[in-house]
Amino acid sequence: MIRAKIIGTGSYLPSRIVHNEEIAGRLGLSTAHIQRLTGIRTRHWAGDHEASSDMAVAAGRRALDVADCSASSIDAIILSTTSPDMVFPSTACLVQRGLGCRQVGAFDVSASCSGFLYGLSMAQAMIQSGQAKTCLVVASEVKSRSLDLRDEATALLFGDGAGAVILRGEEDRSPEWRGILGIRLYADGAHHGLIRVSSGGSRTPLSSDTVRKQEHTLRMKGTSLFRIAVRRIEQAVLEILKEFGFCPGDLKQVVLHQANGRILSHLADRLGMGQDRLASVIEGYGNTSSASLSIALDDVVRGGNISPGDLVLLGSFGGGLTWATGLLRW
């Protein structure tokens, strides 16, 4: 049977590091308060010359190097972003050009912070259907350019970055079934207003009035969003574990969307997970939206915290409301 397996990971963070002191001064907050509230000390923001496609290309190259693959071996590119280079064409097409891939299918996914797992699910389906053998799944976000730096709800949290994986279909007859076991996707549009950029689309096009009202900046009702998201992701994690006959104690690593340090701790407690099994890069990178899960995964892989045969759980939640889980044996 063909299994879809991650054979390489990569990530990229811009060189500009933004410390809490820079954020605190604009909001009249102490740096200690910001860290206590979010778990974040620093975040990376893109330089003036950097767009989402640039970071995606850099992360993709690193994943290709780890996988020992050439760009010419890629059969499809799926890119998650809520901060594309432009409305169209897709940022994935720019990544295809930047990597020098063949004229393969390339498209964007917009599922907010759950976008990486949505993209991974699509790549898995393409591989198992025989449409592709090797896929690049990459998430890249430049959130810093849509922030109102006077808005405490968002200015504290968001950073920029990209993460990528190479997914390949391989024949697997082992009894342990290495590779992706399953990915489950969810959405609840009734809560679409909890985090959004309200203008700039076909409903409310760009105008001098929308610019004056700052309707092209990211707005978030953080307390409501995270309360609902934590409950949904906890339930989804338990459901996918039960579906495949596992319990939280069987997991070697849990890699979740890096939304907020307190939320990660809260989820770890609710799932009965020790901090040593929960990936956390929030302190140094902040919330990089859909890129955060893939960046955190690359971090734990490069840190040697995942070994062949380990059971790994992936989980994310974000605007839409969307959430997703994935279970794989490394």
- Mark whether 40 and 158 lie in a shared domain: yes
From 122, 153, 171, give the residue that closes a domain.
171
- Mark whether 146 and 191 lie in a shared domain: no
Identity of residue 155: A
Q: How many domains does the chain have?
A: 2
- Mark whether 23 and 154 lie in a shared domain: yes
- Mark whether 18 and 158 lie in a shared domain: yes
* Residue 257 is a catalytic residue: yes
* Residue 287 is a catalytic residue: yes
- Mark whether 158 and 302 lie in a shared domain: no
Task: Render pLDDT for 37-94 as a digit per residue (tens, 0 to 9).
Answer: 999 999 999 999 999 999 999 999 999 999 999 999 999 999 999 999 999 999 999 9
Check residue 173 and give its pLDDT. Answer: 73
Identity of residue 284: G
Check residue 266 and give its pLDDT. Answer: 86
Distances (CA, A) of 229 to 156, 196, 202: 19, 15, 28
Check residue 303 and give its pLDDT. Answer: 96
Which residues span the domain enclosing 323? 179-329
- Mark whether 137 and 183 lie in a shared domain: no
From 116, 143, 171, give the residue that closes a domain.
171
The percent of residues above 90 in pLDDT, for the chain, comes to 78
Task: Render pLDDT for 209-222 as a digit per residue (tens, 0 to 9).
Answer: 988 988 889 988 87
- Mark whether 189 and 123 lie in a shared domain: no
Identity of residue 194: L
Residue 150 near residue 26 (C-beta atoms within 8 A): yes
Check residue 174 and give its pLDDT. Answer: 72
CA dist., res. 92 & res. 77, Å (int): 6
Ranges of the chain whose pLDDT falls below 50? none
- Mark whether 247 and 317 lie in a shared domain: yes
- Mark whether 37 and 183 lie in a shared domain: no
- Mark whether 185 and 294 lie in a shared domain: yes
Strands 160-171 and 76-80: unpaired
From 171, 201, 230, give the residue that closes a domain.
171
- Regarding pTM above 0.85, the answer is yes
168 Cα distance to chain centroid = 20
CA dist., res. 227 & res. 47, Å (int): 33
- What is the residue-averaged pLDDT of the chain? 94
Q: Which of 20, 113, 191, 260 is an active site residue?
A: 113
- Mark whether 260 and 224 lie in a shared domain: yes
Check residue 274 and give its pLDDT. Answer: 78
Residue 162 near residue 59 (C-beta atoms within 8 A): yes
- Mark whether 229 and 273 lie in a shared domain: yes
Q: Which of 44, 93, 260, 287 is an active site residue?
A: 287
Please provide the DSSP assignment of 135-156 as one string.
Answer: EEEEEEEE-GGG--TT-HHHHT
Nearest-Å Rg of the Cα atoms of the chain is 19
CATH of the domain at 118: 3.40.47.10
Check residue 95 and give its pLDDT. Answer: 98
